[in-house]
Amino acid sequence: MPIPKDVDPTHLAAALAEAQKYQARKDVESTNLSALESLLDLPLTTISVSAPSPTDISLATLHLQLFLASDYDELIDERRRVDKCGYILCSKAPKRNPYGGLKSVVGSGKGAKVVEREAAEAWCSAGCKMRAVYVKAQLGSTPGWLRGKGWIRFRWPVGDVGGKKGITEMESVQADVRAEGIVLPIRTAVVKEEDKLVEKGLLKSDVVEREGLDEKPAFPSLENGEDVGAIEGHVVDVSKLKISQPTTKS
């Protein structure tokens, strides 16, 4: 169908970009749905959550690339429904409240609080909750269909976590999925098309490229000011976390 001559090329370019952005959003949502299903099956080869296997780390890193915090929360809830710990590298079942009810008490003493039963029964232990929170803090904040090129280099906790020991050891892992022949289209077609429009001056760029996290992510705080990393009254000192720098293969 020919384009009328009196159509403003700027308006046409903007309309085309919006249509492509909508399609890209649908593609990302479909990708995330498939990723969620794959993450429900993890871990595949990990025996101990304190020493996750490279295979499981690679798969988790791959499938979490386009996730937002809301997608991650949905994943935790879905794992709970299939009787799996909310932390994706843990093979244990979550602890259940034997007394039933809609609410559960978490912690003891001054640190005790009442939470929804579903939230309390998403984990096998306080340590796994802390591991999951640490990973969540590293997720991208920009929707997948608006991201530029780049790879989120997740830090995965290893060793003992939680309780009075705190986090004893942390290791930075950048999954080398390309070596396994796996390719994830982080840079979507809509971003490429928008680049062309920006170069022609027909569209203003609103895409922010995310090259990954080079600093330690901090545990987010709750609305009431409490640290979400606080487990049973104990708050981990994030400044003492030991994280090695990611290595790059030549």
* Gap between the Cα atoms of 175 and 161, Å rounded: 22
The answer, yes or no, to whether residue 42 has pLDDT greater than 90, is yes
Mean per-residue pLDDT for 140-162? 75
Cα–Cα distance measured from residue 92 to residue 167, given in angstroms and rounded to the nearest whole number: 20
| Helices 9-40, 69-81: inter-axial angle, 10-degree rounding | 30
Neighbours of 45 (CB within 10 A): 12
Judge whether residue 106 has pLDDT over 60.
Answer: no
Is 198 part of a structural domain of the chain? Answer: yes
Quick check: 32 pLDDT over 80?
A: yes
Report the percent of the chain where pLDDT is more than 90: 19
Residue 248 lies in a domain: no
Across the range 196-219, mean pLDDT stands at 45
Q: State yes or no: pLDDT of 208 exceeds 50.
A: no
Arithmetic mean of pLDDT over the chain:
67
Check whether the bond before 43 is cis (ω within 30° of 0): yes
- For residue 113, what pLDDT is reported? 54
User: 3-state DSSP call for residue 114?
Assistant: strand
- What is the reported pLDDT for 156? 84
First to last CA, the chain: 49
Q: Examine residue 113 and state whether it is found in any structural domain, yes or no.
A: yes
CB 35 within 8 A of CB 67: yes
| Res. 172 pLDDT band, cuts 50 70 90 | very low
AA letter at 135: V
Residue 246, in any domain of the structure? no
**Has residue 202 been placed in a domain?**
yes
Residue 247 lies in a domain: no
Give the pLDDT score at 230.
42
Residue 3 falls inside a structural domain:
no
The average pLDDT across 177-183 equals: 41
Q: Give the model's pLDDT for residue 40.
A: 97
Cross-strand partners of 15: none
C-beta separation of 85 from 42 below 8 A: no
Q: What is the rounded distance in angstroms from the CA atom of residue 126 to the CA atom of residue 108? A: 13
Q: How confident is the model over 196-203, as a mean pLDDT? A: 51
Provide the pLDDT confidence category of residue 41 given band limits of 50, 70 and 90: very high
Number of domains in the chain: 1
Range of the domain at 202: 9-240
* pLDDT of 34 strictly over 60: yes
Does some domain include residue 98?
yes
